[in-house]
Amino acid sequence: MKYLKMKSLRTLCLAATLGATGIATFLPVQSAVAQVRTLPDFTDLVEQVGPSVVNIRTMEKVAARSQQGSPNEEEMLEFFRRFGLPIPNIPKQAPRQNRPQQQEEEQPRGVGSGFILSSDGLIMTNAHVVDGADEVLVTLTDKREFKAKIIGADKRTDVAVVKIEATGLPAVKVGDVNRLKVGEWVMAIGSPFGLENTVTAGIVSAKQRDTGDYLPFIQTDVAINPGNSGGPLINMRGEVVGINSQIYSRSGGFMGISFSIPMDEAVRVSDQLRSSGRVSRGRIGVQIDQVSKDVAESIGLGKPIGALVRGVEAGSPAEKAGVEAGDIITKFDGKTIDKSSDLPRMVGSTKPGTRSTVTVFRRGASKDLSVVIAEIEADKPLVKTQGREDKPKGSAAGQAFGLAVSELTEAQRKEASLKGGVKVEAAVEAAARAGLREGDIILALANTEVASVKEFDAAIAKLDKNKPLNVLFRRGEWTQYAVIRVAR
């Protein structure tokens, strides 16, 4: 007697029994009713949101007959602008002697997408779509074309708002990004490669994707290509949850990874652009880094959370509040900082002049500090000066950890703006493996400050060389941790 089993995923499974007569008799083996899920139908969403999506063309004024490029030149330039690559210098025709001055004419500069924020003509798009444009042209789905005025653009978040003179326009509905789930279906409408009103769809691949200082992007597998920039990312409720902004690509085309600006962040930026034409962001003046697992465990923090302060800007709000290099900022205004990139977003979204509280983990204990938020400014260049000093006699008390140190001279302390510390004269074996090197300034050992070689020797004497040693040290302008493990 033979049994033939036929298996089918999530369906009724039957077995056929072949008897002596050769007649097959089917017997039920398993009975199950599978939940059937159909693919989503986007037709209603396209009819609902499609009229709110616009095509954006930008123009720039150039000298007549001065261009040497081909028709594909603008697409190439858009590619470089889109991916943040240096824009190549395109040779232009040199003026001849005694040639009459050429008149200016408008040439196409780029193409992108946008969507209507309000019925009176406010439109949201990407900052890189309108950056450098002398004229912005907006085309609606009913083929009406308008010249748009740039209300404001913010390059840090890549958000821009433009205005056309029209009324009764179909505005989009803004969705709640917090309700968006990974795996959820989403749709995009835009003008990839200049092809207007193109619809693509996919799922949310990830949220809170770190690709920038101020934005936790939404990652999707929706097909986004050059020209889609500035178009809406739409959920299944017909709400806009993001602005399509970036793609990951090796060829310039779609490769399954696209990034969108979360709509809550975009709305916050657009509100400031509409009210003042610019975005005001807070700053406290610290240089930060991630907290590694090794550092967190060795200093008693436990989990690798927060932002490690590597440096504090002189005269900054952080310095005035008492924040020190080596501190780990674990909370801002009571909100936990899970990773270092959370801090600039929290501080940046705080209005300058606001008094906030930062919680720092220092020497094994947490401490709340009050800081007055300042307005962000251009980054200051780091200036590192080096003085020539006679090398002081070193100490070898840290030999078990691969360290030899010496006193800092008064001039070295003053130059580095330090109250204490010891200079590394040699870092070998365990210390070298931990990343320390000659010239570093050690500020603390195992959460104990060391202001001199004597204090360094005393701290070393108390240590168990079989346990990891956390070292807070200064290198150049910045402060960081190292964890020394002595090989057994």
Q: What is the pLDDT of residues 357-408, one digit of tens each?
A: 999 999 889 999 999 999 875 433 323 333 333 344 455 567 778 888 888 8
Binding-site residues for substrate, in ranges, read 128, 158, 227-229
What is the mean predicted confidence (pLDDT) over 181-204? 90
Least Cα distance to 306 among 326, 334, 286, 336 occurs for: 336
201 pLDDT exceeds 90?
yes
What is the mean predicted confidence (pLDDT) over 83-107? 55
Element (H, E) at 244: strand 239-247
| Domain spans in the chain, listed from the N-terminal domain onward | 1-37, 46-86+103-279, 282-375, 394-484
Ramachandran angles phi, psi of 284, nearest 5°: -120, -10
Cβ–Cβ < 8 Å for 179, 154: no
Question: Counting Cβ atoms within 10 Å, is residue 156 exposed (0-12), middle (13-18) or buried (19+)?
Answer: middle
Report the mean per-residue pLDDT for the chain.
Answer: 79
Residue 156 to residue 266: CA distance in whole angstroms: 11
Binding-site residues, in ranges, read 128, 158, 227-229
28 pLDDT exceeds 60?
no
- Lowest mean pLDDT across 63-67, 184-188, 198-202, 440-444: 63-67
Q: State the CB neighbour count (10 A cutoff) for residue 72.
A: 8
Q: Per CATH, which fold does 46-86+103-279 belong to?
A: Thrombin, subunit H (2.40.10)
Q: What local confidence, expressed as pLDDT, does residue 385 receive?
A: 32
What is the mean predicted confidence (pLDDT) over 247-265? 78
Higher pLDDT, 193 or 204: 204
- Lowest mean pLDDT across 7-11, 92-96, 168-172, 296-300: 7-11
104 pLDDT exceeds 50?
yes
Report field, pTM of the whole predicted structure over 0.75: no
325 pLDDT exceeds 60?
yes
Ramachandran angles phi, psi of 81, nearest 5°: -65, -40
Q: Does domain 394-484 have CATH number 2.30.42.60?
A: yes
Cβ–Cβ < 8 Å for 185, 228: no
Please name the amino acid found at residue 454.
K
Joined tokens for residue 242: 């993001």
Residue 398 to residue 462: CA distance in whole angstroms: 11
**Of the options 2.30.42.10, 1.10.260.40, 1.10.3720.10, 3.10.20.30, the CATH number for the domain spanning 282-375:** 2.30.42.10
19 pLDDT exceeds 70?
no
Joined tokens for residue 154: 């913010």
What is the mean predicted confidence (pLDDT) over 192-206? 89
Instruction: Quote the Cα angle for 301-307-311, to 5°.
Output: 115
**Percent of all residues in the chain with a pLDDT value above 70, rounded to a whole number:** 76
Q: How far is CA 165 from CA 131, 172, 278, 483, in A?
A: 21, 18, 21, 62
Q: pLDDT tens for residues 279-306?
A: 888 999 998 888 988 888 888 998 899 9
Q: What local confidence, expressed as pLDDT, does residue 27 receive?
A: 46
Please name the amino acid found at residue 192.
P
Cβ–Cβ < 8 Å for 136, 193: no
Q: What local confidence, expressed as pLDDT, does residue 349 receive?
A: 83
What contacts 336, CB < 8 A, 6 or more positions away? Answer: 305, 330
What is the mean predicted confidence (pLDDT) over 267-287? 89
Q: Is 394-484 the same fold as 46-86+103-279? A: no
Q: What local confidence, expressed as pLDDT, does residue 12 receive?
A: 33
Least Cα distance to 159 among 215, 80, 87 occurs for: 215
Q: What local confidence, expressed as pLDDT, does residue 401 receive?
A: 85
How does 458-481 read in b/e, with b if 16+ C-beta sit within 10 Å? ebbeebeeeebbbbbbbbeebbbb
Higher pLDDT, 219 or 103: 219
Please name the amino acid found at residue 207.
K
**DSSP strands (E only) in 50-101:** 53-63
Higher pLDDT, 100 or 445: 445
Q: pLDDT tens for residues 416-436?
A: 778 888 988 888 888 888 888
Cβ–Cβ < 8 Å for 359, 331: yes
Q: pLDDT tens for residues 447-468?
A: 888 888 888 888 888 888 778 8
**Whole-angstrom Cα Rg for the chain:** 31
Active site residues: 128, 158, 229
What contacts 73, CB < 8 A, 6 or more positions away? Answer: 67, 90
Residue 438 to residue 482: CA distance in whole angstroms: 14
What is the mean predicted confidence (pLDDT) over 233-242? 95
Residue 484 to residue 405: CA distance in whole angstroms: 15
Higher pLDDT, 26 or 276: 276
